[in-house]
Structure 1
Amino acid sequence: MPSTLYTDPRLVALYDTLNPAAADTAFYLALAAGKDRVIDIGCGTGLLTCELAAQGAHVIGIDPAPAMLKVARKRPHADRVDWIEGDARALTVLPPADLVLMTGHVAQVFIDDSRFLETLKAARHALRTGGELAFESRNPAARAWDAWTPSRSRRKITVDGIGEVEVWLADAAESPQSVVRFTTHYKFRASGNELISQSALRFRSQDELATLLDQAGFGKLEWFGDWDKTAVRADSRELIVIAR
């Protein structure tokens, strides 16, 4: 079941404040520079998608959550994006792309390897000869979930039209299959209401990701451990890959 963070309009309204443009946005915009056709799988509220369009690319944004796309369609430059409500299966009917992206740790939403492999194969099919797939996944060795506790994650944000919201993570638990389940709590100061969203993410190692990419038909992989393109180390927080 997808996290209600992506489906509940009350939480979708908080998404951009919680996930503003950052170093990852700059990384993907630089990667897309000069590319003609770009596909953004799991585009969410379209922050990166619309920036790609503003940069001059012909962009297709794909997401299964109507509430996220509703926000995306209201952004500047949204009229220059082709929006598709759906998943990677939509790639089979699209023209070949120069670049396919999966950002915002979308890769970790695929708990099952077979579903993730299907998506990787669809991305490979959607690329022209010489095209690239790029995405990131949190490095399980860094154990990011150890910090997903109320005391270490609590923060306050202010959102126009909503006011102050206190947000924290809790109940993070790792399963033997490297799936981490956790809850995100949102307390709205104006009303005193608290919403709780349940999520699950798969943490794959670099070797596991490489194996799936190989099975999907990608022959050349370039890896980074951070957005400044430093090499992957044991303690790298990210596993960033450009696959060809």
Structure 2
Amino acid sequence: MTAAYKEFATVYDELMTDIPYDDYVELLELAIGRLNGKKVLDVGCGTGLLSVKLAQKGAEVTGIDLSNDMLEVARNRAIDSSLSIEFNQLPMQQIAGNPSFDAAVIAIDSLNYVCTEEEVLQTFKGIYSVLKNGGTLLFDVHSTFKMDTIFLEGPFTFDNEKIAYIWETEEGEEAYSVYSELAFFVKEGSGLYRRFDERHTQRTFPVNRYAEMLADVGFHIERIFSDWEDEPPHEESERIFFQVRK
């Protein structure tokens, strides 16, 4: 996976401009109050877009990600913003340590790249271990409807005159999983386009299965809502949010 993200890291920010990261900050503030002075773990932090926004609110942020190329972009972003943020290369399944964080976030379906129940459970256990008593975990995942219906309506295309892609999807081997092949075309200074390819697998689980795994670890579920709204999931919800507390 690390190698797969090497070139993707160079275009990631351009593709994420419509993601409401400010809304994610507000959701975390609603869950734990003012972020100033709070220790927050940003799991699957990517290029640090959310990490920086959290730090600008006064949080003491640590970001982890599997891809060192993504983290290099994140480190430069923090430097450019004159922020002190610790970034570490670490798979989320390997989180472990002493309880020192007030909150953890796994934003923008990063957890869906963890494709077995055992690894999801291990991720929850690791986060539980590093949260203080009363600490909060906030994360979102794709719904089973999105996996089984929306994603399989491809192929999808994108073109903003700087970056273009063709995104083809097919049903994965496991239930509620999708295999994606993306061909990217990035415009160079010469006016010619450079092509690179990405292959990704994502998997989700039903809402009640996530709830069971969280409870097995010891988390208390405070909220389950969908699609950035304070409403419970329904049959055609696309993004499911969980707010849980240690």
TM range, smaller chain: 0.7 to 0.9
The yes-or-no answer on 1:165 pairing with 2:163 is yes
Alignment of 1:219-230 (within 5 A): 219-230=220-231
Per-residue deviation, residues 220-242 of structure 1 (Å, max 9, x unmatched): 24111111322211111111110
Shift of 1:94: 5.2
Q: TM-score, normalised by structure 2?
A: 0.86
Q: Moved runs in structure 1, 4+ residues, more than 4 A?
A: none
The yes-or-no answer on 1:43 pairing with 2:41 is no
Distance in 1 separating the partners of 2:127 and 2:70: 21
2:115 aligns with 111
Distance in 2 separating the partners of 1:31 and 1:96: 21
The yes-or-no answer on 1:82 pairing with 2:80 is no
Asked if structure 1 preserves the Cα contact closer than 8 Å seen for 2:171 and 2:179, the reply is yes
1:101 aligns with 105
1:121 aligns with 125
User: Where does structure 1 lack aligned partners over 5 or more consecutive residues?
Assistant: 159-163
Relative to 1, partners in 2 of residues 1:94 and 1:48: Cα closer, same or farther, differing over 3 Å?
A: farther
Asked if structure 1 preserves the Cα contact closer than 8 Å seen for 2:151 and 2:169, the reply is no
Distance in 2 separating the partners of 1:233 and 1:43: 28
2:182 aligns with 184
Asked if structure 2 preserves the Cα contact closer than 8 Å seen for 1:53 and 1:77, the reply is no
SS at match of 2:160: strand
Aligned residue type for 1:239? I
SS at match of 1:74: helix
Which one is further off, 10-19 or 169-178?
A: 169-178
Shift of 1:193: 3.6
The yes-or-no answer on 1:66 pairing with 2:62 is no
SS at match of 1:215: helix
Q: TM-score, normalised by structure 1?
A: 0.87
The yes-or-no answer on 1:138 pairing with 2:142 is yes
Distance in 2 separating the partners of 1:3 and 1:116: 22
2:27 aligns with 31
Relative to 1, partners in 2 of residues 1:17 and 1:234: Cα closer, same or farther, differing over 3 Å?
A: same
Shift of 1:27: 2.8
Aligned residue type for 2:157? R
1:161 aligns with none
Identity in percent: 22
2:215 aligns with 214
Aligned residue type for 2:244? A
Per-residue deviation, residues 110-150 of structure 1 (Å, max 9, x unmatched): 0111111111011111111111101111111232212331x
1:147 aligns with 153
SS at match of 1:136: strand
Which one is further off, 47-56 or 71-80?
A: 71-80
Asked if structure 2 preserves the Cα contact closer than 8 Å seen for 1:180 and 1:203, the reply is no
1:200 aligns with 201
Cα RMSD, aligned residues only = 2.0
Asked if structure 2 preserves the Cα contact closer than 8 Å seen for 1:172 and 1:182, the reply is yes
Asked if structure 2 preserves the Cα contact closer than 8 Å seen for 1:103 and 1:135, the reply is yes
Relative to 1, partners in 2 of residues 1:37 and 1:211: Cα closer, same or farther, differing over 3 Å?
A: same
Aligned residue type for 1:174? G
SS at match of 1:207: helix
Asked if structure 1 preserves the Cα contact closer than 8 Å seen for 2:226 and 2:237, the reply is yes
Distance in 2 separating the partners of 1:234 and 1:223: 14
